[in-house]
């Protein structure tokens, strides 16, 4: 069969790559054309748009790049018509994907949505689009199944969280000497900095995170570089030769860290699965933040706290995300007694995510079922 996969972000590229690998195991004659990144390409898909050309964060940023987004939508429609896939698989990225899904349904394509749009956070009216145009919806957060089925009467599939697969796959690999391999100081523990995968968010948050370095002389701070962003981009912000950027090795970095400063998003959940204490740091443009306060109706911004339905990791948002607050919260999570308490909560969180093998189960459902 022919599959058309659309992912518009780094996390979608990761989950899409694992799904694509499982599809090829089930369908050896599969032809997969995709919007994604290097991981999806390495898994065997033909990439026709890289996600680094697609990532626009926040209301203001989307508005300023509206022409590019509209051009991409038109190109995508034409490309789907020419490729004529048996099944279209949408991965997150709802602003773009739901528009394509509505058009695709009218043109009699089969629509599968992997990693559901987070309509529980904002824009709940999208449920009408989902009900009308998505043949099967796969959720990856445990509370989403109850949300869609009980509140909206729409049956969904919760087959586990794919991050468990990614982390388990990493843990099964032969371990390297991370310190020596990256020329790090063996005498200093690591505090990792995960500033996001989009340039807009990195510009807003990385400089603030770096201000705390001098207050932790017994640690070395390492920035996790996103695979789609050049090292020089980080260096222009860092301006400190003692801070290293290690690109595309986030799991290796986390597994060797004592604590982490993390932006919101998938990275908070990945950090939790590695059981690393963390402080969530988030800033965006004032316009985007003002609009978000109006439209987004959730208690937390990190997936960790949302899944647990209570604050188990500290979130420092916008004006609260200051040097002094980061220093205070980072000292707390480095405290040994606090680490033990958090580890118990992380274990509970991980148990809620289901069992490993979700990528395989989703692929089986897409490939083998009608």
Task: Compute the radius of gyration of the chain from its Cα atoms.
Answer: 20
Q: Residue 33: its pLDDT value, please?
A: 98
DSSP secondary structure code for residue 309 in this structure = T
Q: What angle do CA 153, 156, 159 make, to 5 degrees?
A: 150
DSSP string across 212-265: TGGG-TTEEEEEEE-TTS-HHHHHHHH--TTSEEEET-HHHHHHTEEEEEE-SS
232 Cβ contact list (under 8 Å, min separation 6): none
Q: Residue 70: its pLDDT value, please?
A: 77
- The dihedral over CA atoms of 354, 370, 21, 264, expressed in degrees to the nearest 10, equals -50
**pTM score, whole prediction:** 0.86
The full set of domains in the chain, from first to last, is 2-161+354-368 (3.40.50.2000), 170-352 (3.40.50.2000)
Indicate the pairing of strand 314-317 with strand 278-282. Answer: parallel
User: Could you list the mean pLDDT of each consecutive 10-residue stretch along the chain, which spans 370 residues?
Assistant: 94 92 97 96 96 61 63 94 98 93 97 94 91 97 94 96 91 87 95 90 92 95 91 89 91 96 91 97 72 66 93 94 96 90 95 94 92
On whether the CB atoms of residues 55 and 334 are closer than 8 A, the answer is no
Secondary structure class of 361 (helix, strand, coil): helix
Closest CA to 15 of 358, 364, 367: 358
CA distance 94 to 112: 13
């Amino acid at each position: 069969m022919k599959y058309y996969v659309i992912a518009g972000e780094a996390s979608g590229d990761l989950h899409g790559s694992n799904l694509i690998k499982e599809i090829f195991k089930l369908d050896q004659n599969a032809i997969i054309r995709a919007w994604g990144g290097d991981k999806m390409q390495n898994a065997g898909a033909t990439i026709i748009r890289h996600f680094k050309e697609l990532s626009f964060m926040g209301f203001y940023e989307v508005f300023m790049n509206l022409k590019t987004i509209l051009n991409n939508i038109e190109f995508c429609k034409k490309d789907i018509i020419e490729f004529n896939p048996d099944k279209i698989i949408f991965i997150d990225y709802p602003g773009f994907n739901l528009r394509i899904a509505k058009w695709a349904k009218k043109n009699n394509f089969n629509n599968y949505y992997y990693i559901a749009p987070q309509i529980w956070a904002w824009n709940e009216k999208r449920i009408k689009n989902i009900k009308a145009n998505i043949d099967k919806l796969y959720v990856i957060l445990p509370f989403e199944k109850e949300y869609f089925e009980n509140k909206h009467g729409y049956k969904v599939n919760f087959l586990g969280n794919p991050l468990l697969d990614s982390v388990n796959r990493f843990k099964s690999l032969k371990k390297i000497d991370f310190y020596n391999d990256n020329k790090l100081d063996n005498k200093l523990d690591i505090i990792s900095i995960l500033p996001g995968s989009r340039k807009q968010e990195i510009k807003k948050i990385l400089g603030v995170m770096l201000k705390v370095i001098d207050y932790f002389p017994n640690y070395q701070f390492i920035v996790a570089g996103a695979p789609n962003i050049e090292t020089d981009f980080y260096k222009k912000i860092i301006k400190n030769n003692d801070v290293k950027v290690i690109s595309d090795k986030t799991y290796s970095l986390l597994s060797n860290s004592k604590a982490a400063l993390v932006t919101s998003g998938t990275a908070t959940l990945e950090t939790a699965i590695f059981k690393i204490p963390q402080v969530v740091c988030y800033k965006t443009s004032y316009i985007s933040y003002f609009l978000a306060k109006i439209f987004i109706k959730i208690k937390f911004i990190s997936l960790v706290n949302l899944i647990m339905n209570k604050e188990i990791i500290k979130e420092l948002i916008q004006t609260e995300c200051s040097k002094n607050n980061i220093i205070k919260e980072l000292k707390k999570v480095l405290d040994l007694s606090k680490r033990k308490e958090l580890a118990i909560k992380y274990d509970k969180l991980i148990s809620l995510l289901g069992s490993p093998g979700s990528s395989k189960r989703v692929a089986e459902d897409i490939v083998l079922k009608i």
